[in-house]
Amino acid sequence: MKGKIALEEHFAIDETLLDSRGFFPDDVWAEVKDRVMDLHGRRIRLMDEHGIETMILSLNAPTVQAIPDPKRANEIAIKANDYLAEQIAKRPDRFQGFAALPLQDPDLATRELQRCVKDLGFVGALVNGFSQVNDPNNIVYYDMPQFWDFWGVLESLDVPFYLHPRNPLPIHSKIYEGHSWLMGPSWAFGQETAVHALRLMGSGLFDKYPKIQIVLGHMGEGLPFSMWRVDNCNAWIPNRHNYPAKRKIGEYFQDNFHITTSGNFRTQALINTMLEIGSDRIMFSTDWPFENIDHAAIWFDAATISEDDRLKIGRTNAKKLFKLK
């Protein structure tokens, strides 16, 4: 398929490059480093080869979210966003941008979001999970009360928010001890992000701000498979669930969430996701440079879905959500 739009596609700046180092063995790091620092060379050649017209670019993880000092987090976010805007200006026909945000301080994050959308022309924000604030072991999730004004501004700007994974902190990772292979994209990323997303759904956030749209990668971080059970666990027990939200969790999933195929190139998983959330809320992505563009594109172009759904997932859903020309 030609004209695909991909929206979980990462870059790094010098200050954030090493945040990606720990996920890869020594003999692979040189390749990953070359990929993540490149924008206009190999990346565009691969886009051309595999029918990707546009990438929406975002900073690598966890970067800004892992800087406990709010002032320093803001400085790095501004630097990364300015760099990204400069690169997009060189190829506006191929690239769009997500803002990096210092959510250690909701006011700083709000101002940076407004600047990126209004002044830099970014089409949304991508945030790498929870933020560490002041103390490296002090973390905040975005259903907490101090973030609700930020969410109100996001809704008023009418741009989506991509909730991207990061690993849980070591102090919260006892279950993974002796099994480091479960950290990162194989499991911990998805578990951490799915719980964060469920917190948002159950908090009542979408009752107050019903137009907010959240994007999850990796075929929904396991949530499409689990959503029925989340709502129906022990359904024979009256008032089993107790949370501030006014509706079933699955209703928010269907109304306020979108899913991408980043890093999950499995037709069975795609069909399950289509049955749960609908093909109008799924979008193609690759997760370059951490996954392969050819793996993503070759799989998607041959997936056993209808051509109408392929066009929507590969292109038109993203055009509509991000108001791309």
Name the one residue in this structure whose structure tokens are 């099994």.
179
The Cα–Cα gap between 254 and 279 comes to 11
Q: Are strands 161-163 and 139-140 parallel, antiparallel or unpaired?
A: unpaired
Tell me the backbone φ, ψ of residue 96, rounded to 5 degrees: -130, 175
Q: Does the active-site annotation cover 287? A: yes
The residue from 34, 287, 301, 309 that is catalytic is 287
Residue 23 token pair: 């996920």
- Cβ neighbour number for residue 62 with a 10 Å cutoff: 21
Report d(CA 293, CA 164) in Å as an integer.
19
Cα-Cα end-to-end distance for the chain:
19
Exposure class string for 108-125: b at 16+ Cβ within 10 A, else e: bbbbbbebbbeebebbbb
**Residues carrying an active site annotation:** 287
